[in-house]
């Protein structure tokens, strides 16, 4: 009986705390104008949303572009994530436009979650503005980690932009439906009782890349968010869940890139995503790849696979790390020794 009383009191206390606290979202305001993209090639590039918010933009434009990439960054990152590959692709005739999403980088309300509707509305409008700026040129979407979830969820919504292809780089799809009960419960409880609490992950041994110099740059970059609010994590999980549940609605050709050493996004949600996508995506699994594939030591291998997807689409990827869909879903590809993976293609 005493134990029941303790449990009841604890439950009551948590419920009262939850009633007074809720995850904070800074959603879009009412529409006050048409979306506008201001790109001059300088430092003050921006995208103005329908509610008048000025979001940061970075662009790398080719003189006579053969294709355009619209890029969306991962959690706590910003448009600078793509600067290395974008400069490389620019020399190959591809223009890249990247957005600082609401709450990230140079955009307002740093660290606060904007909600699905706001983020996906910006996704739709920003992509449309880039396409209008490049008439008749093939447009490809690229999403890294959280950006992959934005792309998937954005393309599955009504009025989604038409694109020629999608590149998903370690897409974040570890949502509620692919998370175990204890993770779901703990995150819900923390985000509804102490939503302002910040976590840094500094005590974790997770390695996001083998490129130590790139990791140092991230650590010293003032535009990269370090401590993360728990309610922002809660919002991210909701976005990831929407992305994987709505993935079957995405019909554009997809190139999915994933690292065998990824310690951020587990493999089973990625396998579940691959199983749900129809038509089947092209899959590249890099045996020495980490979560930040485009910044790893083998980054140019990944950059060239993206080029091959855009320019040849159905041709073989130059890395030789492309695998069959069913073998990926069943986990058979992980049994291939690292030094034999490329030779087996």
Element (H, E) at 267: helix 267-276
Rounded CA gap, 151 and 101, in Å?
A: 12
| pLDDT < 50 regions, the chain | 1-19, 336-345
DSSP 291: S
- Confidence at residue 180, expressed as pLDDT on a 0 to 100 scale: 59
Strands 54-60 and 139-144: unpaired
Delineate the domains of the chain, giving CATH numbers in brackets.
35-344 (3.40.50.1820)
Separation CA 289–CA 260 (nearest Å): 6
Are 93 and 62 spatial neighbours (Cβ–Cβ below 8 Å)? yes
Residues found in the chain? 345
Is residue 271 helix, strand or coil?
A: helix
Query: CA nearest 273: which of 182, 143, 117, 186?
Result: 143
- pLDDT recorded at residue 4: 40
- Tell me which H or E stretch contains 198: strand 198-199
Provide the strand spans (E) within 232-288.
254-259, 282-286
- Residues 27, 103: contact at Cβ < 8 Å? no
Note whether 323 and 270 are within 8 A (CB).
no
- Looking at residue 19, what is its pLDDT? 46
Q: Which parts of 43-176 are beta strand (E)?
A: 46-48, 54-60, 67-72, 94-99, 139-144, 165-169
Q: Answer positive or negative: Cα dihedral of 321, 127, 77, 87.
A: positive
| Interhelix angle 181-193/2-20, nearest 10 degrees | 60
Write the burial class of residue 279 (CB in 10 Å: 0-12 exposed, 13-18 middle, 19+ buried): exposed
- Report d(CA 51, CA 129) in Å as an integer: 16
């Amino acid at each position: 009986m005493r134990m029941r009383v303790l449990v009841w009191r604890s439950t009551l206390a948590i419920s009262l705390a939850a009633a007074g606290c809720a995850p904070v979202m800074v959603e879009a305001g009412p529409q006050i104008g048409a979306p506008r993209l201001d790109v001059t090639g300088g430092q003050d590039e921006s995208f103005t949303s329908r509610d008048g918010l000025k979001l940061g933009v970075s662009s790398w434009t080719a003189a006579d572009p053969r294709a355009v990439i619209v890029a969306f960054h991962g959690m706590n990152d910003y448009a600078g994530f793509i600067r290395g590959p974008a400069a490389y692709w620019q020399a190959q005739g591809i223009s890249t436009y990247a957005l600082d999403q609401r709450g990230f980088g140079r955009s307002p309300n740093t660290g606060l979650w904007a909600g699905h509707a706001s983020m996906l509305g910006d996704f739709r409008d920003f992509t449309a503005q880039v396409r209008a700026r490049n008439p008749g040129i093939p447009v490809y979407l690229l999403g890294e980690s959280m950006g992959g979830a934005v792309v998937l969820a954005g393309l599955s919504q009504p009025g989604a932009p038409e694109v020629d292809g999608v590149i998903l780089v370690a897409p974040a799809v570890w949502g509620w439906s692919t998370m175990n009960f204890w993770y779901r419960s703990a995150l819900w409880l923390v985000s509804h009782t102490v939503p302002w609490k910040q976590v840094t992950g500094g005590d974790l041994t997770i390695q996001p890349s083998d490129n130590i110099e790139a990791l140092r740059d991230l650590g010293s970059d003032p535009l990269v968010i370090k401590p993360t609010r728990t309610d922002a994590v809660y919002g991210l999980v909701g976005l990831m869940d929407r992305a994987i549940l709505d993935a079957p609605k995405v019909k554009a050709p997809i190139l999915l890139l994933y690292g065998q050493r990824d310690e951020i996004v587990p493999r089973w949600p990625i396998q579940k995503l691959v199983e749900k996508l129809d038509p089947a995506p092209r899959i590249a699994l890099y045996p020495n790849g980490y979560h930040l594939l485009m910044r790893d030591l083998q980054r140019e291998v990944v950059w060239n696979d993206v080029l091959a997807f855009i320019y040849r689409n159905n041709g073989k990827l130059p890395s030789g790390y492309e695998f069959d869909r069913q073998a990926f879903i069943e986990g058979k590809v992980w049994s291939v020794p690292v030094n034999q993976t490329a030779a087996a293609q």
